[in-house]
Amino acid sequence: MTPEQASAVLAMACQEAAHESVTTRKVLAAVPADKGDYTPAEKSMTALDLAWHIASAEVWFFTSIADGAFPQGGGGRPEEIKTPADVVTWYDANFGPALERVKGLSGEAAAKIVDFFGVIQMPAVAFMQFNVKHTCHHRGQLSVYLRPMGAKVPSIYGGSADEPFQKPS
C-alpha cells in the first residue's frame, strides 16, 4: 500500500469509526444502571465488563494504530469504572482524542506494516477495519443482553422494536 492509498483509506476509516461511535454510545448507554452484573451465561462477560471492553478496546486500537505498535497487557476494568454511566463518561472523554491521533497520521505511518502479536501483520490503517469489526461484534453481544436486563434496544442499523425506524422529514 502506498502512502497516498493509505491516506485515502485512513480518511474513510476514520469517518466510519466516528459514525459507528454514535451507535456504540447508544448501546453502552442503554445498559441499566443496576444491571452491570448481568450475564446470560456462566462463560459470558458481565454487562459492565463487556461495555468496558467495547469502549476501552476502541481507544486501545486507536492508540496502538497511532503508536505503530500493539502493547500487551491492560484491558481490565479500572476500579473507578463501577457503572454503565462511568463507561459512557469514559468513552465520551477518550474516544475523540484517540481518533484524532489516528487522523493525524502521515500516509507513511498509515502504510507502515504493524505486527499484531505475531498473528497478523498489515498496514496500520488496515487495523481500523479490524477495530470496527471487533466493536460491532461485541456491540451485538451487548445489544442481546439488553432486553433480558429489562432495557430497550436502540436502533443500530435501522429500527428496533424499541426504537422504530424514522424516515427523515
pTM of the model: 0.93
Instruction: Give the pLDDT confidence score for residue 162 in this predicted structure.
Output: 86
pLDDT of 15 reads 97
Backbone φ and ψ of 125, nearest 5°: -65, -30
* Collapsed DSSP state (helix, strand, coil) of residue 43: coil
Running along the chain, 169 residues long, what does each successive block of 10 average in pLDDT?
Answer: 95 97 97 96 96 96 96 86 97 98 97 94 96 96 96 90 82
Cell 500516509 -> residue: 107
SS3 of residue 114 by DSSP: strand
- Bridge partners, 116 (sequence order): 120
Question: Pseudo-torsion of CA 50, 62, 65, 15, nearest 10°?
Answer: 120
The pLDDT score that the predictor gives to residue 161 is: 84
Q: Mind listing the domains of the chain with CATH numbers?
A: 3-149 (1.20.120.450)
Neighbours of 40 (CB within 10 A): 14
Give the pLDDT of residue 60: 96
Q: Please, are residues 96 and 83 in contact by the beta-carbon 8 Å criterion?
A: no
